Amino acid sequence: MIRSPFVAYAGPFLAFYGLLALSWVAPLPALAIQAGFVAIMAAVIVIVARPVLRPARVRNWFTTPLIGVAVFAIWIAPDRLFPGYRHFWLFENPLMGKLQTGLSVEARGQTAVLWLRAIRAVAIVPVAEELFWRGWLMRWLISPDFEAIPLGTWSASAFWIVALLFASEHGPYWDVGLAAGLLYNWWMVRTRSLGDLMLAHAVTNACLSAYVVWSGRWEYWL
């Protein structure tokens, strides 16, 4: 078992982006890519992150899902209220990228691909991202000896740096990414619970995945 604290918190996130880069260039069918993604990431999480996931517990079973739904509503609100809003140059540009999905037209018609892509969004992404952003980085910015810093410890600089970096990770959706990052960070400070953050994030992504398939707004699945 991997015992490095850094690897336990950051390893799944780094593996996720490594696989994401490979998926963009791999000449494989969409089903193979999505299935491989889920299987490999599940193995990585079990192997490297199990020690820090074992104590993670959800403490707010009512409020935490509501936080997740609120982030989902924030995420889609600008595009629902102002069609074409995200094509403005502040969002689509060489730095932030374009609104385009990695799923081909053919893949969008394959039920198994859609289920696997949703599983990736709901079960893999929240674990990898919350371990990295609010489990590791938010504490490491306070002290390199991050394990000595309790989860959810308040630091204005760490709070805002993590929120801004989380926003930048979401490309053309950086504005709602910033709002989501601020809300997630606030909830971490309030709950001091990785379990609650993973659940909130999972609820957000579950709502968004259902919305993508229902509405055909595939660009939300970057």
Task: Give 7-39 pLDDT, tens digit per residue.
Answer: 999 999 999 999 999 988 888 899 999 999 999
Mean pLDDT to the nearest integer, 80-108: 91
Express each pLDDT in 121-148 by its tens digit. 999 999 999 999 999 999 999 999 999 9
Q: Would you state the pLDDT for residue 137?
A: 98
189-210 tens-digit pLDDT: 999 999 999 999 999 999 999 9
Cα 150 from Cα 17, distance rounded (Å): 27
Cβ neighbours of residue 130 under 8 Å, at least 6 residues apart?
Answer: 184, 194, 197, 198, 201
Cα separation of 145 and 5, whole Å?
10
Amino acid of residue 155: S
Residue 59: pLDDT band by 50, 70, 90 thresholds?
very high
Residue whose token pair is 């398939």: 213
What is the pLDDT at residue 188?
Answer: 98
Question: Residue 44's closest CA among 5, 75, 7?
Answer: 7
Residue 222 has pLDDT above 90, yes or no: no
102 falls in which pLDDT band (50, 70, 90)?
confident
Q: How many CA atoms lie within 13 A of 153 on its CB side?
A: 18
What residue type is 93 in one-letter code? N
Q: Tell me if 194 sits within 8 A of 138, measured CB to CB.
A: no
pLDDT at position 75 is 97
**What is the percent of the chain with per-residue pLDDT over 90, rounded to a whole number?**
89
Q: DSSP class of residue 61?
A: T
DSSP 123-163: IIHHHHHHIIIIIIIHHHTT-SSGGGSPTT---HHHHHHHH
How confident is residue 47, by pLDDT bands cut at 50, 70 and 90? very high
> In one letter, which amino acid is 178?
L
**Residue 80's CB: how many other CB atoms inside 10 A?**
11
Q: Is 93 helix (H, G, I), strand (E, B) or coil?
A: strand
Q: Of 169, 130, 176, which is closest to residue 20 (Cα–Cα)? A: 169
